[in-house]
Chains A and B, each alone.
Chain A
Amino acid sequence: MATYHDALSALADPTRRRIFERLAGGPQPVVELARGLPVSRPAVSQHLRVLKEAGLVVDRQAGARRLYRLNPDGLGALRAYLDRFWDQELAAFKAAAEREQGEEGT
Chain B
Amino acid sequence: MTVTDLAVRKSVTVEAPVDKAFRVFTEGIDRWWSREHHIGAADLEHAVLEPRMGGRWYEIGVDGSECEWGRVLQWEPPSRLVLAWQINGSWQFDPTLVTEVEVRFVSEASNRTRVELEHRDLERFGDAQEQIRTAFNSPGGWQGLLDSFAQAVAASERDDP
- A-to-B contact residues, CB < 8 Å: 4, 7, 21, 24-25, 70, 74-76, 78-80, 82-83, 85-98, 100-101, 106
Interface residues on B, range: 35 or more
For residue A104, which residue of chain B has the nearest CB?
B20
Stretch at the interface among B6-14, B60-68, B143-151: B6-14
- The listed residue (A24, A83, A90, A95) touching B115 by CB distance below 8 A is A90
Determine the chain A residues whose CB is within 8 A of the CB of B141 once the complex forms: none
A7 to chain B, nearest CB (A): 7
**A97 CB contact (under 8 Å) in B3, B10, B16, B37:** B16
Interface contact B125-A78, CB-CB below 8 Å:
yes
Q: Is the CB of A94 within 8 A of B12?
A: yes
The stretch among B28-36, B71-79, B153-161 that forms the contact with chain A is B28-36
Contact mask for chain B residues 117-146; partner A; CB cutoff 8 A; 1 contact, 0 none: 101001101100100000000000000000
Contacts of B5 in A (CB 8 A): 79
B24 at the interface (CB under 8 A from A): yes
Scan B24-56; emit 1 where CB is below 8 A from any A CB, else 0.
110010011110010000000000000000000
Question: Cβ of B90 and Cβ of A91 under 8 Å apart?
Answer: no
Select which of A76, A90, A96 is within 8 A of B3 by beta carbon.
A76
CB distance from B116 to the nearest CB of A (A): 10
